[in-house]
Each structure stands twice: as C-alpha cells, then as structure tokens.
Structure 1
Amino acid sequence: MQIGVETSKAVDQRRVFVIDEDDITRTVLQFMLQDEIETHEMATVEEAFEKGVGWLKPDLVLIGVSFVKQVTDEGGDLVAHIKMRFDGARILIVCDKADEPVAVAAIRAGANGALLKPLTLENVRSKVDTVLGRGGAKPIVKLGMLG
C-alpha cells in the first residue's frame, strides 16, 4: 500500500535500518517508510551489524532509545560504534518526550537528531527526508539576486 508516495523518493537507492526492541514501533516505522525508501527492521543492534555488511550498509539508522540507555549504563558509546560500523550513516534516536535527555546526550555524541513519539506518517517521513537531504526545506531565494 502506497500512501502519498513521491516517485522520485520511491526510486531512491538508499536504505534505512530500524532497530528497536519494541516490535510495534519497528513495524510502524517500517510501514511508514517502506513505500519511499528501502527499510529493514531489526530487534537488536547485533542483528543490524550482521545484516549491514557489504552492500546492505544503511544510510540511516533509526534506533530505539532503550539501546542508548543500556549502552550508556554500561559506559559504552553506541552512537560512535554505529558510526564506525556504518561509515557515513546518519542516526536518529526514537524516543518518548520523557527520554529526551537521553536523546540529547546521544545527539551530543554524534547522532543526527531524534524522532519523538507519537509517530505520525508526516513527521517521520519529513524527518527522514531532512536527515537524508531528500527534498527537505525549499531553497532560500534572495531578492535582487534573480537578475
């Protein structure tokens, strides 16, 4: 089922990995994105690292805040580890408003932003497009420069 799909985005060769412990969140995000971009859902970071070898490297990783919390508690740096494994990939933290401080810490560590719940089709697609540079904001045209 295609919901408001732009053809130019539907043929985009980039891919998104959705990594979240919550199977409902994973499924919802995959459903929202799959018509416009190749989307793969995984329940663990390890599964993503296994799948992301060779040609299947993601351009964007949407990762549930629960993983960021776990790694933070153990003193690891998940954001840096993802960036190292998936060179050039962008990262968005999927979280509730209550977990915003954890997301902010992840952004300071190198994540590219956060996707706050409740998730809506328009907000998810807009954020993904912006982070991937796919038809985000319209260019600014200064008067007097148009000749």
Structure 2
Amino acid sequence: MQIGVETSKAVDQRRVFVVDDDEITRAALQFMLHDEIETHELASPEEAYEKGVDWLKPDVVLLGVSFLKSRGLELVGELAAKFPNVRILIVCEKSDEATAVEGLKAGAHGALVKPLTLEAVRKKVDTILGRGGGAQIVQLGLLK
C-alpha cells in the first residue's frame, strides 16, 4: 500500500540503505520509505559494502548509532569513502544524542531521533536528498 506518495518521488532513481543491528528499526524504516524511494535494510556495514558494489551505491545511509558506539566515529569516514557523495543520517534514541552529535562532527549529515514517525522520516530523507518536502499524509476516513 502506498501512503501519501508523490509520483515524482516514487520514480526517483536514488536509494537508501538502512544499516542497523536492530531488526525492528530496520524493518520500520524500510516500511516508512519503500513507497517513495528504493530502500534496502542491512544488518551491518559490511553487508552494505557488499550490496553497494558496482551500480547499487546508496545516496543515503541511515546508520544505527550502535555501530558508532561499537566501532567508533571512524565508521562515518569509512562509509563516505566506500560510497562517495553519500549522505549519512544517524538513527538514535534521545539518550544517544551525544553520540549522534559526535557522529555529525565526524562528517554525518544529520540524525533521526526516535520515536520515528512516517512523516518525520520521509521529510528528513527528502530534505537530505534535496527533494521538495515530504508528501502530505492524509488520515483515511477524515477526508471530506
């Protein structure tokens, strides 16, 4: 089902890699974005590097903050080196904002702070890609 999707975004040739060790977060983000942009959920940076070989390079990487905590801030530079021109958004809990800020200082382009909502995630990805604002979400049954 497509929820509030603009045709121009649905045919966009860009892609997002959701790289998070939390399967639920990956699935939620993939569900929120897949109608408007090609979205792939991956369990590790290595999986992303493998998938990103040749033509399947991402335009945006949504990176779980847990990887920054376990592997260090160098991971931001490593992603940028593997995927030139990629935009990196760090996905975190409010309690992990300090780590996310350090990730921004290391070169990430923004953060998505939980709780994640369809509207906020789409808007942030649209903004980071330089696309017009997110599609307006319409509650079913409230149209008059």
Give the TM-score taking structure 2 as reference length: 0.91
User: Which one-letter code corresponds to 1:104 in the other structure?
Assistant: V
Identity percentage over the alignment? 69
1:80 CA displacement: 0.3
User: Which one-letter code corresponds to 1:115 in the other structure?
Assistant: L
Q: Distance in 1 between matches of 2:13 and 2:131?
A: 12
Q: Are 1:113 and 2:76 matched, yes or no?
A: no
Q: Distance in 2 between matches of 1:36 and 1:131?
A: 14
Q: Distance in 1 between matches of 2:54 and 2:75?
A: 21
Q: Distance in 2 between matches of 1:132 and 1:30?
A: 17
Aligned to 2:85: 88
The CA RMSD measured in Å over matched residues stands at: 1.1
Q: Distance in 2 between matches of 1:31 and 1:90?
A: 20
Give the TM-score taking structure 1 as reference length: 0.89
User: Which one-letter code corresponds to 1:16 in the other structure?
Assistant: V
**Secondary structure of residue in 2 paired with 1:94:** strand
Q: Distance in 1 between matches of 2:133 and 2:90?
A: 19
Structure 1 unaligned spans of 5+ = 138-147
**Secondary structure of residue in 2 paired with 1:55:** coil
Aligned to 2:96: 99
User: Which one-letter code corresponds to 2:74 in the other structure?
Assistant: D
Q: How many corresponding residue pairs? A: 134
Higher-Rg structure is 1
Q: Show CA shifts across 1:34-83 (max 9, x none).
A: 000000000011000000011000000001000011112xxx60000000
Q: Distance in 1 between matches of 2:92 and 2:80?
A: 19
1:124 CA displacement: 0.2
Aligned to 1:19: 19
1:136 CA displacement: 3.5
**Aligned with 2:122 (options 125, 130, 142):** 125
Q: Distance in 1 between matches of 2:53 and 2:98?
A: 31
Q: Show CA shifts across 1:65-110 (max 9, x none).
A: 00011112xxx60000000000000000000000000000000010
Aligned to 2:66: 66
Structure 2 unaligned spans of 5+ = 135-144
Instruction: Pick 1 or 2: higher relative contact order, CA cutoff 8 A, min separation 6.
Output: 2
Aligned to 1:9: 9
Aligned to 1:77: 74
